[in-house]
Structure 1
Amino acid sequence: MQEIYIDVVFAANLLMDYLLLELVARFLRCRTSHRRCLAAAILGAFGSCLILCIPSENTPVLTVVLHGFCALLMLRIGLKIQKEALLLKAFLMLYLTAFLCGGFWEAVSRERALTLRIFLLCVFVVYTGSSAFLFAADSIRAGRKNIYPVTLGCQGRVQSAYGLYDSGNLLTDPLNGKPVSIIEPELLYKLLTKEDAEILRSFHENPKELTNTEITALKPHYLSLTTVGNDPQMLLAVMLDDLCIHTPGNVIHIAEPVFALTSKSTALGREYRLLLNSRLLR
């Protein structure tokens, strides 16, 4: 009969879960903190220990369901993911990353006993290797095309995308003096509920519908935009909660950024869904 030391199981799952949450957060560009990831990892390790008490040979389906529920709970707590689509994507990414890490550790353990020292070394190699890969990919993308990963936050919801640094975008909001970036409407609507998105779509027709809705927090208003060779046009502008621009060197955080909605999604490129104001990266 195999002996299982519960403290070893707890410590191994704690390190593994924390590593996986950090990697998934980096891959999906989720805004989180080390404390939240650690708290979620502790919960996940505790859950794994409890699941060990269930005889898996008699209830294999229940064991799988409990592991899946535990993973979803960790993602909710650690990464603060609210939207179901993003949660599913993070769930799949979590298990894919766990599969890749498990294969790497198994290959290493074949050559020698997987001691605590070797385990910690593997954790370090996987984490730093993945971080280096993401850093290199972002550096190449940003260096060649001035395209940066961005994270948008609005009313507790988070959305990731890519934005193009537009050196010719000098648009300023006359109401508050903030630099104005350009956003694809469909990307903004993903940060809102279906009802609020519909209200914002019909804002120019029924502005009174905004009364007592969450849309009022966006402070919707119109801006005049003039481009070379074109007549002036009025664009609907809104203010979000925050914007994070992930440059190769650091993360630039902008509180209460202003975005103007394009009239057509085709105005932006295939690789990016925002035009970042030139003043944001200075």
Structure 2
Amino acid sequence: MKIYIDVLVMENIVMNYLILLLTAKFIRHKTSHLRLFLGALVGAIYVVVLILMPDLKMYYTTLAKFALSLLIIAIAFSPEKLGLFIKTLAVFYVSTFIFAGAAFAFLYLNQTGGFIRNGIVYIWSSKGTTLFFTVATVGIIIKIFWDIVQQRFSKEKLLIPLKIAFGKGTIDLHALVDTGNSLYDPLTNSPVVVVEFNAIKNILPMEIQSIFDEAKENDLDSVTQIVSDSRWLSRFRLIPFTSLGKENGMLIGFRPDYIEVGENTEKKGVTDVIIGIYNRALSKNNNYNALLSPELV
């Protein structure tokens, strides 16, 4: 059997990248595509070493493969805490098993040439379409699996502590982790935490408070004038939205000094975030005062 190194490297980079991308989605970890690619490339280089140097049996050992996994995780995600590193590694293995199983199933059902062995993926096809359909099959399986997980373990009703710091003030409240909250600041692409005005009023500048006290938040001219005259101009912005019961709406948002999500050992500090101010109640029974994107948890 002839094995073409360029095809082998390309296929393994693609598969490794998708595995790492799925891992990032599962753990909701923000990383760059470059880091994911570099992690995938390291895995592909390992495969080439196995093919070109079959006598180096030490690289076939479980310990060597485990060490490779640690290196790939460090490159792709660089987890700062040991607990997060272990969690990422576990999810990485689960993602790998899903991809390997789906790819093997496609190879078996399609009766196409190829193999998956010792961490090596190699597929050949005279039409060059086998890899595409293998990845497509894996994608469909992952989509179904992800939907099941989202439905079964949804965080839509999870309430967690949230602390917001702005200027000289801080405020503590409870936030609902809402999978439907996909608001992002169009300028910085930072996630937006939607917070009730009454819950955050005390840490806002007086001129900003007046906008909501006088119900002027929908008067774009007034809002623009007031914000422009404020010394906090650089911290405030307008965020378009099509939710919260209103289409083509506009939220007044600001960049806080930082927020803290969670409590005790799971407390997480975030600075790359925008607070969107909503001048209505978010909860009928006042159980929570903010809507939090799952990626901030």
**So what's the TM-score if we normalise by structure 1?**
0.53
1:241 and 2:241 are equivalent in the alignment: no
Q: Counterpart of 1:51 in structure 2: which amino acid?
A: L
Equivalent pair of 2:5/2:48 in contact (CA under 8 Å): yes
Deviation at 1:169, TM superposition (A): 8.7
Equivalent pair of 1:14/1:41 in contact (CA under 8 Å): yes
Query: For the residues of structure 1 that align with 2:260 and 2:31, how far apart are their CA atoms?
Result: 24
Query: For the residues of structure 2 that align with 1:107 and 1:82, how far apart are their CA atoms?
Result: 36
Give the equivalent residue in structure 2 for 1:233: none
Deviation at 1:86, TM superposition (A): 2.0
- Runs (5+) with no aligned partner, structure 1: 150-161, 192-238, 243-253, 258-274
Q: How does 1:84-163 map to 2 (within 5 A)?
A: 84-111=82-109, 112-114=111-113, 115=125, 116-131=128-143, 133-135=145-147, 137-138=149-150, 145-147=156-158, 163=176
Point out which structure has higher relative CO (alpha carbons under 8 A, 6+ apart): 1
- Provide Cα deviations, 1:62-91, integer angstroms capped at 9, x if missing partner: 643332222222212212322222222222
| RMSD between aligned residues | 3.9
Q: Counterpart of 1:69 in structure 2: which amino acid?
A: A
Equivalent in 79, 103, 106 of residue 81 of structure 1: 79
The secondary structure found in structure 1 opposite 2:200 is: coil
Equivalent pair of 2:73/2:88 in contact (CA under 8 Å): yes
Query: For the residues of structure 1 that align with 2:202 and 2:44, how far apart are their CA atoms?
Result: 52
Give the equivalent residue in structure 2 for 1:67: 65
Equivalent pair of 1:171/1:181 in contact (CA under 8 Å): no
Query: For the residues of structure 2 that align with 1:136 and 1:148, how far apart are their CA atoms?
Result: 22
Equivalent pair of 1:141/1:147 in contact (CA under 8 Å): no
Give the equivalent residue in structure 2 for 1:19: 18
Deviation at 1:97, TM superposition (A): 2.3
Query: For the residues of structure 2 that align with 1:83 and 1:182, how far apart are their CA atoms?
Result: 16
- Provide Cα deviations, 1:183-208, integer angstroms capped at 9, x if missing partner: 323321xx5xxxxxxxxxxxxxxxxx
Query: For the residues of structure 1 that align with 2:94 and 2:177, how far apart are their CA atoms?
Result: 30
Q: How does 1:1-282 map to 2 (within 5 A)?
A: 2-55=1-54, 59-60=57-58, 63-111=61-109, 112-114=111-113, 115=125, 116-131=128-143, 133-135=145-147, 137-138=149-150, 145-147=156-158, 163-164=176-177, 170-172=198-200, 174-175=202-203, 183-188=262-267, 191=268, 240-242=270-272, 254-255=273-274, 277-278=289-290
Query: Would the alpha carbon gap of residues 64 and 135 (structure 1) be closer, same or farther in structure 2, given more than 3 Å must change?
Result: same
Q: Counterpart of 2:271 in structure 1: which amino acid?
A: D
Query: For the residues of structure 2 that align with 1:145 and 1:279, how far apart are their CA atoms?
Result: 10
Query: For the residues of structure 1 that align with 2:93 and 2:3, how far apart are their CA atoms?
Result: 24
Query: Would the alpha carbon gap of residues 137 and 148 (structure 1) be closer, same or farther in structure 2, given more than 3 Å must change?
Result: farther
- Provide Cα deviations, 1:83-107, integer angstroms capped at 9, x if missing partner: 2222222222222322232222222
Query: For the residues of structure 2 that align with 1:83 and 1:31, how far apart are their CA atoms?
Result: 15
The secondary structure found in structure 1 opposite 2:30 is: coil
Query: For the residues of structure 2 that align with 1:255 and 1:168, how far apart are their CA atoms?
Result: 14
- The total of aligned residue pairs comes to 189
Q: Counterpart of 2:265 in structure 1: which amino acid?
A: E
Q: Counterpart of 1:121 in structure 2: which amino acid?
A: F
Query: For the residues of structure 2 that align with 1:113 and 1:279, how far apart are their CA atoms?
Result: 48
Deviation at 1:42, TM superposition (A): 1.6
Q: Counterpart of 1:241 in structure 2: which amino acid?
A: T
Query: For the residues of structure 1 that align with 2:40 and 2:65, how far apart are their CA atoms?
Result: 13
Name the % identity.
22
Query: For the residues of structure 2 that align with 1:148 and 1:122, how far apart are their CA atoms?
Result: 40
The secondary structure found in structure 2 opposite 1:171 is: helix
